[in-house]
Amino acid sequence: MKLMIASDLHGSAYYTQALLRRMEDEKPAKLVLLGDILYHGPRNALPRDYDTKACAAMLNALEKAPLCIRGNCDGEVDQMVLNFPVLADFAAVFADGYTLYLTHGHHLDEASKAAAPGDILLYGHTHVPAFEQKNGNYYVNPGSVSIPKEGSRHSYMLWENGVLDPEYFTQDGSMQTAKQQADGGSQVGLIFGWTADAQVGPNVNQFKTLEAVEGYDGNHYVEAATNYLDISDRELMISKDCKDPDTLLKWADEFYTDLASLQTFYGTIGSQITDNGDGTYNVDVPSDGSSLDTSAWSNSLRDFGPKYMNEDFYDKVSLPEDQGDGVKLADDAINEKYVDTEKNCGFPMVQYTDEDLSRITAIGTDIYKYVEAQYAHWVVDGGIDDEWDSYIDQLKAMGIDEFLQIQTDAYNAYKENLAK
């Protein structure tokens, strides 16, 4: 089922018409309005093209009457000019195995009493888009169509069965980026990766970082990438034809100073970085309108350059809080409480014997392809419970036990070397 969900039109003929145009494109089974349809309300400024009669006429002319909830600005006089019910305080919709509780939001606590764990409460009233999980329920707000607040955009929301993009598992990086950074708004509702500005560029305001979701066993799993994961050997090679290895090594060693490392990661002092003259530095917001993440990748070696900054040097570097690594630090803080460095630490850079390396390459290539194919199949088609045993049997037949033993032996050797 596809639902188009909107709230707080407040009598704007302009935005009501814009919403209905999008409705023609989206072709939902039902338009759901979460209240405050016609009257602008004493606390709000008049919206663009405020015309309650025109709004009523457009909504009355719909072939399929919308499902509407009463808002705090809706009254009996509104019902007199609308030919579909608008005075119900609450409603429930059963869609795709979920129960959606509809309310305007000014009595949200009362509405939540009827919700069972896992149910979704849809509400408006605040004029600010929201998605949060609390007390076992999801609270979702589409924002306001005509009078958005707190810097949000004019917005509505879609509920649709089969929310995954069917091209997700086959599209290349350029296709994914085009959808995420599309003009007029991202065509993707959920992203994962580095930061929102790095993934969706100009559409960053459409997204909000989510706290790590609760797993099947009640725990929240967050991988901890500790510093040693960025350190590896055999990263610098010198040709036998080098005439002055000592000078070359001195040059390479400079990359590991604080100032060189800062520029390796963010760009040049004087262009992308400001030297404040007192031993502190500011990483600057790009003047061309691009994101800080994009600027860093365009003007520095970023992840591919050698670098090491002492921990106390980070205290001397200021990052913008609203983009780039400043956002990443804030995102990390949201989930830091779930990090267990003993249990959830990423696999380190271990060393293999030549024989073991040859074996894991031969075995791993087929295993990874099979795992990725099954992952895509289960996400799109389901069936993981019925097919799990045969999946494990196939992995064993492909050599998963030998693969894991080689990895375990290499990890144990790594731990022994650390202890020396």
CA distances from 118 to 108, 114, 129, 332 (A): 16, 12, 20, 26
Q: For residue 402, which amino acid is it? A: E
In whole angstroms, give the CA distance from residue 99 to residue 116. Answer: 9
| Tens-place pLDDT, residues 315-367 | 899 988 888 888 888 888 888 888 876 666 677 778 899 999 999 999 999 99
| Tens-place pLDDT, residues 237-277 | 888 999 999 999 999 888 888 899 899 889 999 999 999 99
Sign of CA dihedral 129, 135, 136, 137: negative
Q: How many CB atoms lie within 10 A of CB 99?
A: 16
198 and 291 in contact (C-beta within 8 Å)? yes
By CB atoms closer than 10 A (0-12, 13-18, 19+), residue 164 is exposed
In whole angstroms, give the CA distance from residue 204 to residue 183. Answer: 12
Element (H, E) at 340: none
DSSP letter for each residue of 78-99: HHHH-SS----SEEEEEETTEE
261 and 255 in contact (C-beta within 8 Å)? yes
Q: Does residue 103 sit in helix, strand or coil?
A: strand
Can you give the pLDDT at residue 289? Answer: 76
CA distances from 37 to 44, 72, 306 (A): 13, 10, 58
121 and 98 in contact (C-beta within 8 Å)? no
200 and 206 in contact (C-beta within 8 Å)? yes
In whole angstroms, give the CA distance from residue 46 to residue 12. Answer: 8
Rg (CA), the chain: 28
Helix%, strand%, coil% for the chain, nearest 5: 40, 15, 45
In whole angstroms, give the CA distance from residue 269 to residue 299. Answer: 11
In whole angstroms, give the CA distance from residue 121 to residue 244. Answer: 70
In whole angstroms, give the CA distance from residue 283 to residue 235. Answer: 27
> What residue ranges of the chain have pLDDT lower than 50?
227-230
61 contacts: CB under 8 Å, gap ≥ 6: none
Could you identify the residue written with the tokens 């400001």?
Answer: 274
Could you identify the residue written with the tokens 């188009």?
Answer: 4
Q: Considering only CA atoms, which of 297, 403, 387 is closest in space to residue 347? A: 403
Tokens of 311: 């921990």
Can you give the pLDDT at residue 309? Answer: 72
Can you give the pLDDT at residue 172? Answer: 65
CA distances from 416 to 148, 360, 408, 419, 420 (A): 58, 21, 12, 5, 7
Q: Does residue 33 sit in helix, strand or coil?
A: strand
346 and 304 in contact (C-beta within 8 Å)? no
Element (H, E) at 261: helix 258-266
Can you give the pLDDT at residue 153? Answer: 80
